[in-house]
Amino acid sequence: MTDVSEVRRRSWATRRKKYGVKGHAGNYSRSVCASCERMAALIIRLHKDGILSEGQAATAIGMGRLDVRRRADNSQIDDGK
């Protein structure tokens, strides 16, 4: 009879050898859809225009305030300057 725990141990060793410590090539989350990305860009724009606070933008997008700040700083939106 095959020892299942031994088979699992060997398979995880193979995965870690191929993909690294976590045993897989990347996270299992889905990529962001194009519509969601456009919505996030609009929310960042509203934040930069002073309509939404940083916290409101973070809540609407579902990310942290630091991420909102980084996106606002790195956005390609014309500030009119």
What pTM did the predictor assign? 0.56
* Listed residue (44, 50, 53, 39) closest to 72, CA to CA: 44
Q: What is the pLDDT of residues 7-52, one digit of tens each?
A: 999 988 988 888 887 777 666 666 668 888 999 999 999 999 999 9
Maximum CA extent, the chain? 74
d(CA 36, CA 44): 12
Specify the length of the chain in residues. 81
